[in-house]
Amino acid sequence: MRLVSLNLNDNFLQGEVPQILGSNPILEQLKLFNNSFSGSLPENLGRYSDLGDLDVSTNKFTGELPKYLCYKKKLTRLVTFSNQFSGNLPDTLSECNSLGYVRIEHNEFSGVVSDKFWGLPQLTFLQINNNRFNGTVSPSISAANGLTTLLISGNQFSGSIPPEMCKLSDLATLDLSKNQFSGDLPRCITELKHLQKLKMQENMFSGQIPSQVSSWTELIELNLASNRLKGWIPPELGDLPVLNYLDLSENFSLARFRWS
């Protein structure tokens, strides 16, 4: 069957996806969202066709992602959340310059995210939270300059936040929580003027909260709880026009507001 698009979303289907599907030379879209499929994906998926859109989220898939998913350099959307995928991300994804939307959260992926993957130039949405990734966030992330959403919480990332992240001028949602990040909060983070949600709780950040927070005029939620921050709480936080959630708890060296 020479299918260009296969959509089986929202059914009660189970069993394994047949290997022969990976041999289809014209398959461009595969959507299997919200079923009970299990086993691994066809190993040749993406090798022979211009696969552009893959959504296999909310199933029971296991094993590693097929290494050919972006073999033809056409993949723009990769959605695999809420499965049991494991292992490292395929090296070929790091060369997938067409990739713009990635949701692979709530799996068992592990290993280091490559420099090239962090800097994929078309990325606008990257959600990889609740896996087992480790290592650092690469300075190459500045190449993903159209990124609006970055969600990497619940992993084992460590090290400091590279100042190059501050070049992501379109970033609206940034969630670095529940990792092992350390070092000072980069002062340049206040240059992200379109931030709406900033979540950095449950890490080991130290230093002071930057005083130039008045630039966060679109910020709705700020959570810096359970870190090692110290110094004064900038009174400018109280003047942010749309802020409705603020949590600075469990920073035991953090002083109260210093009123002028």
CATH number, span 5-190: 3.80.10.10
Confidence of residue 258 (pLDDT cuts 50, 70, 90): low
CA atoms within 13 A on the CB side of 139: 3
Residue 1 confidence (pLDDT) above 70: no
Q: What are phi and psi of 105, to 5 degrees?
A: -70, 165
Note the pTM of the prediction, 2 decimals.
0.96
Q: What is the C-alpha to C-alpha distance for residues 173 and 175, in angstroms, rounded to an integer?
A: 7
pLDDT by residue (tens digit) across 100-151? 999 999 999 999 999 999 999 999 999 999 999 999 999 999 999 999 999 9
What is the mean pLDDT of the segment spanning 26-47? 98
Residue 31 confidence (pLDDT) above 60: yes
- Measured CA distances, 234 to 222, 227, 255 (Å): 13, 17, 10
Q: What is the pLDDT of residue 120?
A: 98
What is the mean pLDDT of the segment spanning 65-89? 98
What percent of the chain lies above the pLDDT cut of 70? 98
Q: What is the pLDDT of residue 190?
A: 96
pLDDT by residue (tens digit) across 6-25? 999 999 999 999 999 999 99
CA nearest neighbour of 168 among 138, 141, 128? 141
Confidence of residue 177 (pLDDT cuts 50, 70, 90): very high
Q: What three-state secondary structure class fits 117?
A: helix
> Two tokens at 106?
């709530």
Amino acid identity, residue 40? S
Q: What is the pLDDT of residue 241?
A: 97
Residue 30 confidence (pLDDT) above 60: yes
Q: What is the C-alpha to C-alpha distance for residues 28 and 220, in angstroms, rounded to an integer?
A: 38
Confidence of residue 253 (pLDDT cuts 50, 70, 90): confident
Map out the domains of the chain as residue ranges: 5-190
Q: What is the pLDDT of residue 15?
A: 98
